[in-house]
Amino acid sequence: MLKLEKLSCGYGPMRAVEELSLDVAKGSLFALLGPNGAGKTSTIMAIMGHVDIHGGSISFEGTEITRKPAVERVKYGLALVPEGRLLFPDLTVLENLTVGGYALPSSAEEANREKVFELFPRLGERQSLWAGSLSGGEQQMLALGRALMAKPKFLLVDELSLGLMPKMVDICFEALQTLKRQGITILLVEQNTSRALEVADEVCVLASGKSVYRGSAQEARQNADLFETYLGVSC
């Protein structure tokens, strides 16, 4: 569904990722792992059109989107849940969701919103509250919900569990699995390696902007040396 061919990207003259090639199959959950500074966020921001492309290509459902603006990529069916959530704190839950659906006809807004509230009933209970007043877990639900308002085919999620209590981590990862069952393809960047490996089908590990491992999550779970070397953790 998504194909990167020798993608190099970065910020101005600085390259954060070098010649990265990936294939993400339709309906799968693909985890992009690696230490801080490995190029994970740069990769997904390049896919969304927010980072300079120095070489290579990005294709989505057979169409090259390498040079297309971010708004066009949303229309193709890509949506981003950014690291740190980046909500509008002085807007209500309902207003943040409305912003997420800007690229679709207003007639689709209510139906999409109800699907979000079905996935996260707590947001429905808090829809009139300011986003900035929510707990960290509720804000992550809202960030996911805002992205889902665009009715994406492909969801890019950056650091889902960052700063969350264990119960909220469970809720958010369960939501990802629900979305996968509903047919949404997911690319997940995640520091919580063990949780990512529990839900992922395929894994790529980055180090210093380059791929050092690519394979199934099942194989990765059995490769203790890989993760101790590049992530400093045991799997």
Average pLDDT (67-71) is 92
Q: How far is CA 157 from CA 30, 37, 91, in A?
A: 10, 17, 22
Contact 176, 29 (CB under 8 A): yes
One domain for residues 159 and 66: yes
One domain for residues 164 and 147: no
Domain end marker among 132, 151, 170: 151
Alpha-carbon distance of 85 to 195, in angstroms, equals 19
* Sign (positive or negative) of CA dihedral 144, 147, 153, 158: negative
One domain for residues 140 and 68: no
Residue 175's SS3 state is: helix
One domain for residues 54 and 164: yes
One domain for residues 143 and 194: no
One domain for residues 68 and 160: yes
One domain for residues 158 and 171: yes
Answer whether residue 233 shows pLDDT above 60: no
One domain for residues 101 and 117: yes
One domain for residues 34 and 118: no
Domain end marker among 115, 136, 151: 151
pTM of the model: 0.92
One domain for residues 165 and 232: yes
Residue 134, domain extent? 84-151
pLDDT band, residue 55 (cuts 50/70/90): very high
Alpha-carbon distance of 89 to 31, in angstroms, equals 29
One domain for residues 146 and 223: no
Average per-residue pLDDT in the chain? 92
Domain end marker among 151, 182, 198: 151
Q: What is the pLDDT of residue 234?
A: 47
One domain for residues 166 and 54: yes
Give the lowest-confidence range in 9-13, 76-80, 101-105, 176-180: 101-105
Alpha-carbon distance of 156 to 169, in angstroms, equals 17
Residue (of 24, 62, 63) closest to 43 by Cα position: 24
Q: Which residue has the tokens 């990802």?
A: 176
Contact 120, 149 (CB under 8 A): no
In CATH, what number is assigned to the domain containing residue 226?
3.40.50.300
Q: Number of folded domains in the chain?
A: 2
The type of residue at 207 is: A
Answer whether residue 174 shows pLDDT above 60: yes
Answer whether residue 42 shows pLDDT above 90: yes
